Chains A and B, each alone.
Chain A
C-alpha cells in the first residue's frame, strides 16, 4: 500500500547577505548615506542609529561591516545580545577599521560593560577608526549610568530610523520576492499587508515561508497558498 507522499523541499534556503543595496532607504536615506560613507572609511567616524524594532538597524550594521570587508578593511559586527558575551570582547577592537555594535540598550546599567565601552570609544576615536552603535532608543533616552559614556554617545550625528511606509513595504515585498523568483501580484501583497505585521523583518519571514511552500508545491504563490504558508507550524 502506498502511503500519501508529500515531497519534502530541500532545506536549503538562500542565505541572504544583508547588503546596503538591499536596504530600502525610504525615509532613512540620509542615515544610509552616512553608514555607506563610514563603511568606506569616509565621512563621520562615529554614528549612532536608533529606532523601533524592525526598522533595519541590524541589517544596516551588518551591511556596513560586509561592505568594509569586501574592500579589504577589517570589520566586526557585535550584537551585544549574543548569549555568553562579556566585556573582554571589546579588547583591542581599535585594531580593526570598523566596529559596529548593536543592541547597546542590553548592557545599559552594567557598570563593567559601560566602562569598557567607554574605553573602547576613546581608543577608536584616538585612532580615527570607524564606530557605529545602534540601540532601541536615542542615546539620551537609554538611561546610561556612566556620564562619560552618555556624553560620548551624543558626540556624533545620530539618526532615528523611521519605519517604512506601507507603499515602501509593499514595494520591498515585491522586490524581495522577485529576487527569489516569486511573482507576487498586488492582490497577494494587499492580502499580506492587511493581515500580518507590516515591518520589513516580518514581511521577509512571510516571503521565506511562502517561498518554501511554493517550492514544495511547485507553483507560484496564490492567496490560498499564502494562507497555508502562514498556518502555525505543527
Chain B
C-alpha cells in the first residue's frame, strides 16, 4: 500500500462528489474500497452487480482523475469483488471455517454462527411453546440420542430460531470440542452454490457431514432448489447414521412443506415434530418484561398489558414496539407511563398510515354535516353549504401538502384566493365561536386518527 493511496482516492472521491448526483455518489462510489498497488488503483466492490455498474459508468472518469492527481503515476484502475482488511490492507477471505481453529467458547460460538443472547434462560415459556422448549432442552442435554431430528414448526417470529440457538449454545457449553453449526437454509444453498462455482464441493460436503450438531432454520426455503435438496439429503443421512443431532425449523408441518422432495419430507418427520403457537396475552406480557430487562428498562405492568393486547401477531413485532418505546423514552428523558406509551406508539399502533386526501376530507366533512359530497364542489353559496366547505378547505390546507391553487381546483375549480379566504375565516371563527372550534377539532381527530 502506498502513501499516496488514501490521498489519491480522497481526491477522486471529492471530485466525483461534485460531479455526480448525491444518489449516484452514495449508491455506487461510497461502497467502494480503494488501495494503490504500484501503478494501479485497486477498487473493491461488495458484489459483482455493484462492480459491473461502477466499472461501466465510472471507470473512464476514474482513470482520468487518477492520471491527473498522480501526475501520470497511476495508469490503471482495477475492479474486483471483495474487501480489504482494515488494518493490513490485504483482501480477506470470506466465510468462517467451522470451529477448526477456534480456541475458546466465544470463538466457537461465532464460528458456529450462534447468538449468545439466545439461551433457554432468555426464552419465556408459555402454553404456546412449552412442548417445543422441553423437547429442545432434552436434545440439548442428550444430543443425537433423544429425538433425531427435532423438527420445530410455527409461524414467523414465535421463537423457533431462539430455541435452535439455545440448543446449540448448551451443546457447545457442555462439550467445547463439539462441532456445532447453525445455518439458515438460504445460507446453506448460497454456500453450496459458491462451493460449486469454486470447485470446492468436496470440502463443502466434508464440512457439513462431519459436524456433531446441525441446526438448519426455515427449511421451507429449500423448496424448488433440487440440487440443494439433493446435497442436504446426503448430509442428513450421513449425520443421522452417525447419530449426530439434527434440528430443523419450518413455518409449517413437515408433510405440508411444498416444493420439497418426498424423501426429505418423510425424513424430517422421523424424530419428534413440535409446534410453536402465537403467545397468549400473559406470555406476551412476560416476553415484554424479559426483553425490557435485557434493554435495562423496567416496564410498568399496565403498559406491558397495553402493548401485549394491541400487538398479537408475533414476538418480533412486540419487540419492535418495545424498542420504539424505549428509544422514545431515552430521547425525551420521560418515564414510561400509560399515557407516554399511547403517544409514543401511535405510529406503530395505527393499523396503517392513513393517507389523508382532499377527497377523503370532503367526504368526511360532508358526512359530519350531513351533506352530500357533491355539495362541497357545487357553486351554491348558501351559508349551510359555504361554512362546511370552508372548514373542509382549511382542513385540506392543514392536513395535506397540496398547494392552495390545487385545493381550490379540487373544490369545484375555485381560485386560490377563495381557499386563502376560507382558511382565514375558519381561523377567526375557531377563536370566536366554540361550536366551530369543536366541529373543527372533531373532524381533525377523525381524519388524523
Contact = CB atoms under 8 A, between A and B. Distances in A.
Asked if A pairs with B, the answer is yes
B401 A163 contact: yes
A17 B17 contact: yes
Contacts of A158: 320, 324, 347-348
A223 B54 CA distance: 44
Interface of A is mostly: mixed
Interface stretch (A2-10, A73-81, A172-180, A211-219): A73-81
Given A54-B401, A151-B157, A157-B327, A82 B27 contact: yes
Given A78-B27, A138-B347, A156 B323 contact: yes
B83 to A, nearest CB: 5
A110 interface: no
Nearest to A99: B31
A159 B406 CA distance: 29
A109 interface: no
A1 interface: no
Contacts of B177: none
Contacts of B316: 151-152, 154-155
Contacts of A82: 27
B317 interface: yes
Contact of A195 (B47, B48, B353, B405): B405
A187 interface: no
Contact of B31 (A76, A118, A160, A198): A76
Contacts of B404: 194-195
Interface in B1-44: 17-23, 26-27, 30-31, 33
B30 A75 contact: yes
A212 to B, nearest CB: 17
B19 to A, nearest CB: 8
A52 B22 contact: no
Nearest to A197: B403
B352 A138 contact: yes
Contacts of A118: 186
Contacts of A33: 331
Interface residues of A, number: 66
B176 interface: no
B319 interface: yes
Interface in B172-226: 184, 186-187, 190, 218, 221
A92 B317 contact: no
Nearest to B352: A141
Contacts of A159: 324, 347
B93 interface: no
A233 interface: no
A44 interface: yes
A17 B22 contact: yes
Contacts of B314: 151, 154
A66 B17 CA distance: 11
Q: Sorted from nearest, which 10 A-B pairs have the closest CB atoms?
A: A141-B352, A77-B26, A160-B347, A91-B47, A157-B324, A151-B156, A76-B31, A151-B157, A154-B317, A89-B49
Given A89-B47, A163-B401, A202-B401, 10 more contacts: A34-B327, A58-B23, A75-B30, A75-B31, A82-B27, A96-B46, A122-B184, A141-B351, A197-B403, A197-B406
Interface of B: 17-23, 26-27, 30-31, 33, 46-50, 81, 83, 94, 113, 115, 155-157, 184, 186-187, 190, 218, 221, 251, 313-314, 316-317, 319-320, 323-324, 327-328, 331-332, 347-348, 350-353, 355, 401-406, 416, 420
Interface of A: 15-18, 29-30, 33-34, 43-44, 50-52, 54, 58, 62, 65-66, 69, 74-79, 82, 85-86, 88-93, 95-96, 115, 118-119, 122-123, 126, 137-138, 140-141, 147-148, 150-152, 154-160, 163, 194-199, 202
16 contacts: A15-B21, A18-B22, A50-B353, A62-B26, A75-B26, A77-B27, A79-B23, A89-B49, A115-B186, A115-B221, A138-B353, A157-B320, A159-B324, A160-B347, A194-B416, A195-B416
